[in-house]
Structure 1
Amino acid sequence: MRRRTGLAVAGVAALAWGEWVNRRWSRALVRRHGGGASEAVVVLGYRNPRPRVNFVNRWRVRAGVRSVTAGDARGTRLIFSGGAVGNSIAEARLMADYAESVLTFDGTVLVEDQSATTWENITNVIPLLENVDRIKIASQPAHALKARAYLRRQRPDLAERLVRADDYRPGEWMVGKPLLGLYGLWTLRGLTATERKALP
């Protein structure tokens, strides 16, 4: 009985930790509010071994679309970034097709289809971000935080325009969040403490 209770407590603690750490990452290196009328939502691709958009990329597209400021689909550029890493079709093109054909997104869609790494994602989308007022990066929270840190390294002036994407919601991916949290700790090990700290 004690063992069962201990396992239940450990399970609840793991779920709570997963929620907490993913929420924290989603709010790091962003401004609370962004001014101006124009925005860009950058959706980062995930390795897609088949010529059909996979589960992770479908979720990232949904997170990107729901990150568009309400009622402003036409004033937002939705940028999909990711090259042909897993097969001959670029992740960005698969995601863009999904956004338009399945989610019926009818705003501006841009495709960056040359990147093979997160660093390249950021490098290659920078020309598409120059003249927008707000920038959102949508992915799993740890991955999006890593991308925001890379933007700060490459273009600190553009990083000042970063605001939060809608890629964290309480209870979403709840069972998987502890694993995502552990994986995130591993992928973020190269970031400095300053890069992980939420801006005021």
Structure 2
Amino acid sequence: MCVRRRHVMVAAGVAVLGWGEWVNRRWSRTLVGDRGGGTEAVVVLGYRNPQATANVVNRWRVRVGLRSLTVDGAEGGRLIFSGGAVGSGVAEARVMAAYARSVLKFDGPLFLEDRSRTTWENITNVIPLLEDADRIKIASQPAHALKARAYLRRQRPDLAARLVRAEDYRFGEWTVVKPLLGLYGLRTLRVLRTDEREPRP
């Protein structure tokens, strides 16, 4: 009986972890297209940051932004950090930019949007920085990035047509917490319509 119970628990654990991988991968591939070439803008969304240095979530989001940037700066690639002073006196955008420059040694084009306090405002305020981009990527946790893409689609459908996938999902990365991110995502994505939550055929 103990052996059987152990097998059941292992199977349940594998199923939960597998669901976390599946749902985050699905969100990462929703509301994006497949456009190549041209200029590229990667928008990195900030997370509440009580201290003056980047916390673990913002550090991860910056790394996602950097690995999502596939176009060289000289060829038209740029990073845009977005987020105001929500958790402290320092804007999230500035905290992330400092981490990118000082720790990760990023020396490419970098723009700051440091007034936003919500995801809707993130999108509203970065739109002027996206007008001339041929490809747009949004870097955050997959559910949060999907929510932001849906908001861009509502505000500027013409720009949303330029959305492509960021490198926000990798199999085996944060596997243990992906089920929790999945549950949180299910709750936060309830504000979206069904057509905004389903991958394109």
- The answer to whether TM tops 0.5 is yes
Bigger Cα displacement from structure 2, 120-129 vs 33-42: 33-42
Match of 1:188, SS state, is: helix
**What is the letter of the counterpart of residue 19 of structure 1?**
E
2:16 is aligned to 14
1:132 is aligned to 133
Contact 1:73/1:106 (<8 A) preserved: no
1:77 is aligned to 78
2:62 is aligned to 61
Q: Aligned partners of 1:77 and 1:176: how far apart in 2?
A: 30
Identity of matched residues, %: 73
1:26 is aligned to 28
Q: Relative to structure 1, is the Cα distance of residues 41 and 81 closer, same or farther in structure 2, using a 3 angstrom cutoff?
A: same
Q: Aligned partners of 1:198 and 1:172: how far apart in 2?
A: 22
Q: TM-score, normalised by structure 2?
A: 0.96
Aligned length: 198
**What is the letter of the counterpart of residue 99 of structure 2?**
Y
Contact 1:80/1:92 (<8 A) preserved: yes
Q: Aligned partners of 2:188 and 2:20: how far apart in 1?
A: 15
Match of 1:88, SS state, is: coil
Contact 1:40/1:136 (<8 A) preserved: yes
Q: Aligned partners of 2:121 and 2:20: how far apart in 1?
A: 28
Q: TM-score, normalised by structure 1?
A: 0.96
Please list every run of 5 or more consecutive structure 1 residues that lacks an aligned counterpart in the other structure: none
Please state if 1:88 is matched with 2:100.
no
Q: Aligned partners of 2:45 and 2:58: how far apart in 1?
A: 8
2:169 is aligned to 168
1:147 is aligned to 148
Please list every run of 5 or more consecutive structure 2 residues that lacks an aligned counterpart in the other structure: none
User: Cα offset for 1:36?
Assistant: 3.9
2:36 is aligned to 35
Q: Aligned partners of 1:28 and 1:94: how far apart in 2?
A: 29
